[in-house]
Amino acid sequence: MLTLEQVVKDFGTNRVLDHVDLDVGGGEVVALIGASGSGKSTLLRCINLLEPIDDGRILLDGVDVSVPGLDPDPVRRRIGMVFQSFNLFPHLSVVDNVALGPRKVLGRSRRDARAGAVALLERFSLAEKAQDYPDRLSGGQQQRVAIARSLAMNPDVMLLDEITSALDPELVGEVLDVVRELRRTGMTMVLATHEMSFAREISDRVCFLDAGRILESGPPAAIFGTPQEERTRQFLQRVIDAGRL
Amino acid sequence: MTATGATGLGDAPGGSTRSRRQRYERRQRLRSVGIAAASTVLVVTAVVVFVPKLDGWESVRRSFFDADAFRNVFPELLAPFWYDVQIFLWCAPLIVALGLLVAIARNLRTPALYPVRLAAIVFTDVVRGIPVILWITLLGFGVPGMLQTREWYGGFIIWGSVALVVTYSAYTAEVFRSGIESVHESQRAASRSLGLTSAQTMRTVVLPQAMRRVVPPSMNLLVSLQKDVALISILGPVEALRRAGIENARTFNFTPYVAAAVLFLCVSIPLTRITDHLLARDRRRMSATAVT
């Protein structure tokens, strides 16, 4: 479904992604792990064409979407993205946040889009917050709204960029529950995360990124159980020492 | 006011069973109000009692605050002042519209539209660099003088208004532009990742947020415009300032000008207060943590 071939991304002289290959099948859940600055977020932003890549190709259902000059909007429509800092629209109520994409991009009527949004909010137990503004919600609720907003576009792939990193510890669970539910419905997802135990639980495949390269990838049991690379072992050891695994 | 309605531990609301904190805060409040009241009374008394005792106060009073002259001239000024208000009312929406266009033009990133962007930059630079009164003279006298027509579009007022619209839209555009730039990049990213085009993002995500932020500085401009309308008097129409000038020339008394000033204040002060109120309401609606 989603294929990355030799993707390179430079910020000035700094190589952030160094010939990354990745193949994500339909319904597959891939977790990107690695230290801060290893390129996880940049990888997701490149897939969503928020950052242009400097070399290589990104294919969506076999079609090269990384051609320079290609209109990115139809591609982004098919790829949902959830951000670490939620990025909800503060001037719109919760229901209008969720309904905005379907209204503006899919051309649905206001009533239709809102009905769809309310249904999604009900699914995530946010129905009673529909008329509130984002600032009145807890971080966990805001992030669930952000997931609903992205899901409202009915995307083929969801990119989750450290979606629990900005949350208080007691709010992480409710957001992860939503991701678990998405997995049950067969949503294809690529997620960058620092929640190692969650990555182990939810993903079909884990990729360890180091200095812009996918150093090692495989089933969670293999990566967390018998990592082959020294850098992976060091990283996981640090995570364990920090009490996060 | 924050949520002080919440009562302390096991505390009945109201009555004599206020918590220690509530009693303290109440005492503090009363104390502040008392001090403010006493100090105000003191200062006002001093002004009322001592200023009239000053040498020369009588001539100041006669020249500027002649009650009879005020009573006579005030009704005379109402109709001319309504003229000012009308000019203000038709200029303001045009200024907002043109200012917004220029601000958006300055934010264009499409290479093909670079000339538009350049034009917007030149427009704001040139217009802001020239005094308002010079613009009014230039356009208000100049264009009708050039056109030499009795048609409506040859009028002094039309071109005086155009001068106001041009100058104020340049200032407004800069305020709007700073508002647009103050909306965080992550908002654009969120919008674009939903598949909204850059124009849709500007219209539905960036501008609504930017507009709320620029209301206070734009209100400054609006209040300022409401006064600068009087500059059009140099073109000849009998609006409030000119009418006051005529009275002044007839009686050699400056009270008519003071009366005109009072009229302008009657509009500008409520204007500011209404904006403050609207903004506070907007903030309360969107924010759980608003401290007003």
| Residue B237 located in a structural domain | yes
Contacts of A44 in chain B (CB under 8 A): none
- How many A×B Cβ pairs under 8 Å? 71
pLDDT at A68 over 90: no
In chain A, what percentage of residues exceed pLDDT 70?
Answer: 100
Residues B33 and B119 in one domain: no
Percent of chain B with pLDDT over 70: 92
Query: Is B117 a domain residue?
Result: yes
Does the beta carbon of A167 lie under 8 angstroms from any beta carbon of chain B? no
pLDDT at B12: 47
d(C-alpha A163, C-alpha A82), whole Å: 7
Q: Which domain holds residue B37?
A: 14-53
Say if residue B38 is in the same domain as residue B155: no
CB count within 10 Å of CB A102 equals 23
Report pLDDT digits (tens) over B112-163. 889 999 999 999 999 999 999 999 999 988 888 888 777 777 778 888 899 9
Helix B156-182 × helix B132-147 angle, to 10° = 140
Asked if B186's CB is within 8 angstroms of A153's CB, the reply is: no
Q: Do A80 and B195 touch (CB under 8 A)?
A: no
Q: In this structure, are B153 and B231 located in the same domain?
A: yes
Cα(B216)–Cα(B143) distance, integer angstroms: 34
Tell me whether B192 touches chain A (CB under 8 Å): yes
CATH of the domain at B126: 1.10.3720.10
pTM more than 0.90:
no
Let me know whether B150 and B193 are in one domain. yes
Query: In a mutagenesis test of the A interface, which of B192, B193, B196 is the best target, namely the one with the most A β-carbons within 10 Å?
Result: B193
Chain B segment 224-253 residues within 8 A of A by beta carbon are: none
**Does residue B180 lie within any of the structural domains?**
yes
Strands laid side by side in the A2-11 sheet: A14-24, A2-11, A55-60, A63-64
Question: Touching check for A80 and chain B: CB below 8 Å?
Answer: yes
Is residue B79 located within the same domain as residue B48? no
State whether residue A107 sits within 8 Å of chain B by CB. Answer: no
Let me know if residue B204 belongs to a domain.
yes
Contacts of B250 (CB under 8 A, 6+ apart): none
Please give the torsion angle defined by the CA atoms of residues B196, B200, B202 and B203, in that order, rounded to the nearest 10 degrees: -140
**Looking at the complex, does the CB of residue A213 fall below 8 Å from at least one CB of chain B?**
no
| Residue B62 counted as domain residue | no
CA B208 – CA B202 distance, rounded (Å): 9
Q: Looking at beta carbons, which pairs linking B223-226 to residues 24 or more positions away fall under 8 Å?
A: B223/B268, B223/B271, B223/B272, B225/B88, B225/B91, B225/B92, B225/B95, B225/B164, B225/B168, B226/B84, B226/B88, B226/B264, B226/B267, B226/B268, B226/B271
Q: Do B272 and B218 fall within a single domain?
A: yes
User: What one-character DSSP code corresponds to residue B56?
Assistant: T
Give yes or no: residues B186 and B225 share one domain.
yes
Note whether B210 and B242 are within 8 A (CB): no
Asked if the Cβ–Cβ distance from A104 to B200 is below 8 Å, we say yes
Measured between CA atoms, the residue of chain B closest to residue A44 is B193
The C-alpha atoms of residue A77 and residue B90 are separated, in whole angstroms, by: 42
- How many domains does the structure of chain B reveal? 2
Within a domain: B43: yes
For residues B200 and B85, membership in a common domain is answered with yes
Q: DSSP per residue over chain A, as a string? A: -EEEEEEEEEETTEEEEEEEEEEE-TT-EEEEE--TTSSHHHHHHHHTTSS--SEEEEEETTEE---TT--SHHHHHHEEEE-TT----TTS-HHHHHHHHHHHTS---HHHHHHHHHHHHHHTT-GGGTTS-GGGS-HHHHHHHHHHHHHTT--SEEEEESTTTTS-HHHHHHHHHHHHHHHHTT-EEEEE-S-HHHHHHH-SEEEEEETTEEEEEE-HHHHHHS--SHHHHHHHHHHHHTT--
One domain, residues B127 and B35: no
**B63 domain residue, yes or no:** no
pLDDT value at residue B8 = 44
- Across the interface, of B208, B209, B288, the residue whose CB is closest to A135 is B288
Q: Kindly list the residues from chain B whose CB atom is less than 8 angstroms away from the CB atom of residue A136.
A: 287-288
Residues B24 and B164 in one domain: no
The answer on pLDDT for A157 being more than 50 is yes
Report the candidate in B152, B130, B156 with the shortest Cα–Cα distance to residue B143.
B156
Tens of pLDDT, residues A90-148: 999 999 999 999 999 999 999 999 999 999 999 999 999 999 999 999 999 999 999 99
Range name among A53-62, B87-96, B105-114, B199-208 with the lowest pLDDT average: B105-114
| Residues B206, B241 within the same domain | yes
Distance of residue B187 Cα from the nearest chain A Cα, in angstroms: 6
ipTM of the complex: 0.89
Q: Would residue B182 count as lying in a domain?
A: yes
The answer to whether A173 touches A144, Cβ cutoff 8 Å, is: no
Q: Is B39 in CB contact (< 8 Å) with chain A?
A: no
State whether B46 and B125 are in the same domain.
Answer: no
DSSP assignment letter at B45: H
The pLDDT of residue B290: 43
Does any CB of chain B come closer than 8 Å to the CB of residue A104? yes
